[in-house]
Structure 1
Amino acid sequence: MAELPSTARVVIIGGGAVGCSILYHLAKMGWSDCLLLEKNELTSGSSWHAAGNCPNFSGSLAVMKMQAYSTDLFTRLGDEVDYPMNYHVTGSVRLAHSQDRMDEFRHVTAMANHLGLEMDMVSNAQMKEVYPFMETHDILGGVWDPNDGDIDPAQLTQAYAKGARNLGAKVIRFCPVSGVRRENGEWVIETEKGEVRCEFVVNAAGYRAQEVGRMFGREVPCATMAHQYLITEEIPELEAHGKLLPLLRDPDSSYYLRQEKNGLLLGPYEEQATPHWITKNDPMPEDFSFQLYPDDLERLEWYIEDACARVPLLGTAGVTRVVNGPIPYAPDGNPLIGPMPGVPNAFEACVFTFGIVQSGGAGKVCAEWIVEGETDGDMWAVDPRRFTSYATHEYCVEKAKEIYAHEYAIHFPAQEWPAGRQARTSPLYEKLKAKGAMFGAAAGWERPVWFPRPGKDEAVQKASYHHTNWFDAVREECLAIRDRVGLMDLCGFSRFEVSGEGAAEWLRGMVTGALPKAGRIGLIYFATEKGKILTEMTITRFSEDHFLLITAAAAEWHDRDWLEQHIPAGSPITIENKTGSWTSLVVAGPKSRDLLSSVCNKDFSNEAFPWLTHQPIEIGMARGFAVRVSYLGELGWELHLPIEHVLGIYDKLWAAGEPYGIIDYGMYAMESMRLEKCYRAWKHDLTNDYSMFEGGLDRFIRLDKPTPFIGQEALRKEKEAGVKQTFAPLLLEDGSADAVYLSSVWKGDKRIGFVTSGGYGHRIEKSIALATIDIDCAAEGTELEVEVLGERRKAVVAREPLYDPENERLRA
Structure 2
Amino acid sequence: MACWLRPAMCGCFCEAPDRPPAAAHKREALLRIVQSGRCCEPDGPAVGGRRRGDWRRFHRHFDSAVLLERHQLTAGTTWHSAGMHWRLRPTDADIELNAYSRMMCKQLEEETEISSWTENGGLFVATNKERLAEYQRFAETGKYFGIESQVLSPAEVKEVHPLLRVDDVYGGIYSPGDGTIDPTGITNAYAKAARKLGAGIYENVEVSGIEVEEYFTPGGAQSKRIQAVTTACGARIATKVVVNAGGCWANAVAAMAGVEIPLRAMKHAMVLTEPLPGMHKGLPNVRDHDLSVYLKTQGDSMAIGGYEQNPEFWDADPKFAFGLFELDYDTFGQNLAGHIQRCPQIETTGIKTTVCGPESFTPDHKPLMGPHPGLRGLYHACGFNSMGMMLGGGAGREITKWIMTGSPEVDLFSFDCSRFHPDTTANARWVKDRTHESYAKTYAIVFPHDEALAGRGMRKSAFHDELVARGCVHQARHGFERPGWFDASMKPGSQVPKPYDYYGAYEEGAWRLCEKDQEEGIPKHEEHLYNDLIEKDLTFSWPASHHIVAEEVRATREGVAFFDQSYFGKLFLRGPDADQAVQYLCGADMEGKKFGSVTYTPLCNVRGGVEADLTVTKLEDPEGSSYYYFAAGGNTYTKDLEWIRGVLEDRGFRAAITDESDSSALLTVQGPHSRPLLQSLVTSGHSLENDAFPFSTGQWLEIAGHRLLALRLTFVGERGYELHVPTASAMQVYKAVREAGEHYGAKHGVPVCDAGYKAIDSLSAEKNLRHWHADLSNRDTPLEAGIGFTVLSKLKRSGPDAPDFLGRAALEAQRAAGLKRKLVCLILESGDVPLHGAETMLRDGECIGYVRSTAFGHTIGRSIAYGYVDCPKSETKITNAWLEAGKWQIGDKGSLHAANLSLKAPFDPANERVKG
Displacement of 1:605 after TM fit? 1.9
**Residue aligning to 2:555:** 480
Distance 1:62 1:759 in 2: 21
Distance 2:208 2:149 in 1: 46
The one-letter amino acid paired with 2:825 is P
Instruction: Choose which of 332, 336, 355 in structure 2 pairs with 1:323.
Output: 355
Matched, 1:470 2:545: yes
Displacement of 1:171 after TM fit? 0.7
Matched, 1:640 2:724: yes
Displacement of 1:684 after TM fit? 0.8
Displacement of 1:329 after TM fit? 0.8
Distance 1:199 1:488 in 2: 44
Mapping for residues 106-255 of structure 1, pairs under 5 Å: 106-182=136-212, 187-193=227-233, 194-238=235-279, 243-255=281-293
Mapping for residues 431-470 of structure 1, pairs under 5 Å: 431-454=466-489, 460-461=533-534, 462=536, 463-470=538-545
Distance 2:584 2:236 in 1: 39
CA contact (8 A) 2:116 2:183 kept: no
Matched, 1:704 2:808: no
Helix, strand or coil at the partner of 2:847: strand
Matched, 1:790 2:858: no
Question: TM-score by structure 1 length?
Answer: 0.95
The one-letter amino acid paired with 1:591 is H
Distance 1:807 1:509 in 2: 29
Displacement of 1:303 after TM fit? 2.6
Distance 2:290 2:277 in 1: 29
Displacement of 1:709 after TM fit? 1.1
Encode CA deviations 1:73-118: one digit per residue, 9 max, x unaligned.
21231221233x2532110110112221122112221222211222
CA contact (8 A) 2:845 2:889 kept: no
Displacement of 1:377 after TM fit? 2.2
CA contact (8 A) 2:163 2:278 kept: no
**Residue aligning to 1:578:** 660
Distance 2:272 2:637 in 1: 45
Gaps of 5+ in 1: 278-283
Closer, same or farther in 2 for the Cα pair 1:614/1:504, shift >3 Å?
Answer: same
Instruction: Choose which of 603, 616, 620 in structure 1 pairs with 2:700.
Output: 616
**Residue aligning to 1:658:** 742
CA contact (8 A) 2:226 2:376 kept: no
Distance 2:198 2:349 in 1: 48
CA contact (8 A) 2:210 2:226 kept: no
The one-letter amino acid paired with 2:559 is R
Pairwise CA RMSD of aligned residues?
Answer: 2.1
**Residue aligning to 2:9:** none
Encode CA deviations 1:401-438: one digit per residue, 9 max, x unaligned.
11111111111111112111112111222222222211
CA contact (8 A) 1:623 1:641 kept: yes
Distance 1:24 1:220 in 2: 28
**Residue aligning to 1:533:** 610
Encode CA deviations 1:749-782: one digit per residue, 9 max, x unaligned.
3222222211111112221112222434664575
CA contact (8 A) 2:293 2:338 kept: no
Distance 1:161 1:388 in 2: 35
Distance 1:771 1:157 in 2: 37
- Identical-residue share of aligned pairs (%): 30
Distance 2:720 2:845 in 1: 44
CA contact (8 A) 2:573 2:656 kept: yes
Mapping for residues 414-429 of structure 1, pairs under 5 Å: 414-429=449-464
Distance 1:337 1:519 in 2: 38
The one-letter amino acid paired with 1:300 is F
The one-letter amino acid paired with 1:635 is R
CA contact (8 A) 1:781 1:797 kept: no
Mapping for residues 475-554 of structure 1, pairs under 5 Å: 475-515=550-590, 516-543=593-620, 545-554=626-635
Instruction: Choose which of 372, 377, 383 in structure 2 pairs with 1:340.
Output: 372
Distance 2:854 2:705 in 1: 41
Distance 1:164 1:665 in 2: 55
Helix, strand or coil at the partner of 1:175: coil
**Residue aligning to 2:760:** 670
**Residue aligning to 1:260:** 298
Helix, strand or coil at the partner of 2:783: coil
Matched, 1:270 2:311: no
Closer, same or farther in 2 for the Cα pair 1:22/1:10, shift >3 Å?
Answer: farther
**Residue aligning to 1:281:** none
Instruction: Choose which of 774, 779, 783 in structure 2 pairs with 1:689.
Output: 779
Matched, 1:597 2:679: yes
Helix, strand or coil at the partner of 1:385: helix
**Residue aligning to 2:817:** 721
**Residue aligning to 2:415:** 382
Helix, strand or coil at the partner of 2:311: coil
Helix, strand or coil at the partner of 1:304: helix
The one-letter amino acid paired with 1:372 is T
Displacement of 1:683 after TM fit? 0.6
Displacement of 1:24 after TM fit? 4.7
Displacement of 1:732 after TM fit? 0.7
Distance 1:455 1:400 in 2: 30
Distance 2:831 2:266 in 1: 42
Encode CA deviations 1:684-717: one digit per residue, 9 max, x unaligned.
1111232221111221112134221111111111
CA contact (8 A) 1:684 1:741 kept: no
Matched, 1:34 2:65: yes
The one-letter amino acid paired with 1:373 is G
Closer, same or farther in 2 for the Cα pair 1:229/1:25, shift >3 Å?
Answer: farther
Helix, strand or coil at the partner of 2:79: coil
CA contact (8 A) 2:292 2:338 kept: no
**Residue aligning to 1:628:** 712
**Residue aligning to 1:760:** 856
**Residue aligning to 1:280:** none
Displacement of 1:809 after TM fit? 1.4
Helix, strand or coil at the partner of 1:763: coil
Displacement of 1:290 after TM fit? 1.4
Distance 2:465 2:596 in 1: 35
Gaps of 5+ in 2: 1-24, 216-224, 496-528, 746-751, 871-877
CA contact (8 A) 1:274 1:401 kept: no
Helix, strand or coil at the partner of 1:450: strand
Encode CA deviations 1:590-644: one digit per residue, 9 max, x unaligned.
2212221222223222222221111112234632111111111111111001123
Displacement of 1:182 after TM fit? 4.0
Distance 1:740 1:190 in 2: 50
Encode CA deviations 1:326-384: one digit per residue, 9 max, x unaligned.
11111111111212222222211011111122111111111121233332221112111
Distance 1:376 1:570 in 2: 25
Displacement of 1:320 after TM fit? 2.2
Instruction: Choose which of 90, 112, 133 in structure 2 pairs with 1:103.
Output: 133
Q: How many aligned residue pairs are there?
A: 799
**Residue aligning to 2:432:** 397
Distance 1:663 1:248 in 2: 49
